[in-house]
Amino acid sequence: MTDRELINAAFKALENAYAPYSGFRVGAAVECEDNIVFTGCNVENAALGDTVCAERVALFKAISEGRKSIIRIAVAAHSDEYCMPCGSCRQAISEFSKDAEILSARSDGRYVSYKLSELLPHQFEPK
Ligand code: THU
């Protein structure tokens, strides 16, 4: 799957975002080691702290469906800025990847690419 296809999957997932409190809709698509893709969107809650980001929804869907690790994740938001994974999502990704590639796409379709180790250096790892 190309970067663009993974980003398109993230934008499609964004359509299901439940974000009545922030109004900020996010989609994510993770590609697993077997190249299967799982998507997710942010799911907010009236108890705001119980909100779950799009990245973790997609990641946990993959893990709960038996995947052991991910190789790439795309994040998409209709924003002028690139939406970067929060600290909790970076740590969650680190649990289930060697050094995943993280793509972030904004409204105009442009995207940036990082390795997890760039976004979360010196990470606390399972090993
Ligand atoms: N959010 C994500 O889903 N992913 C990110 O990378 C950053 C933030 C969500 C959480 C919340 O529903 C909304 O965006 C505003 O913070």
pLDDT for 126 equals 76
Q: What is the pLDDT of residues 25-57, one digit of tens each?
A: 999 999 999 999 999 999 999 999 999 999 999
In angstroms, rounded to a whole number, what is the distance separating the alpha carbons of residues 117 and 9?
24
Q: Within 10 Å of residue 47's Cβ, how many Cβ atoms?
A: 7
Name residues contacting ligand 1 (CB within 6 A).
19, 22, 24, 26, 42, 44, 51, 53-55, 75, 83, 85-86, 89
Distances (CA, A) of 69 to 30, 79, 93: 10, 29, 9
CATH code for the part of the protein at 3-118: 3.40.140.10
pLDDT for 125 equals 81
Q: What is the pLDDT of residues 2-23, one digit of tens each?
A: 999 999 999 999 999 999 999 9
Indicate the domain borders of the chain: 3-118
Which ligand 1 atom minimizes the distance to the CA of 25? 14
Q: What is the pLDDT of residues 53-112, one digit of tens each?
A: 999 999 999 999 999 999 999 999 999 999 999 999 999 999 999 999 999 999 999 999
In angstroms, rounded to a whole number, what is the distance separating the alpha carbons of residues 75 and 4?
11
Helix axes 54-64, 3-14, angle to 10 degrees: 110
**Ligand 1 pocket check: which of 30, 39, 53 to mutate, most ligand atoms within 8 Å of Cβ?**
53
Structure tokens given for 106: 């904004």
Nearest CA to ligand 1 atom 14: 24
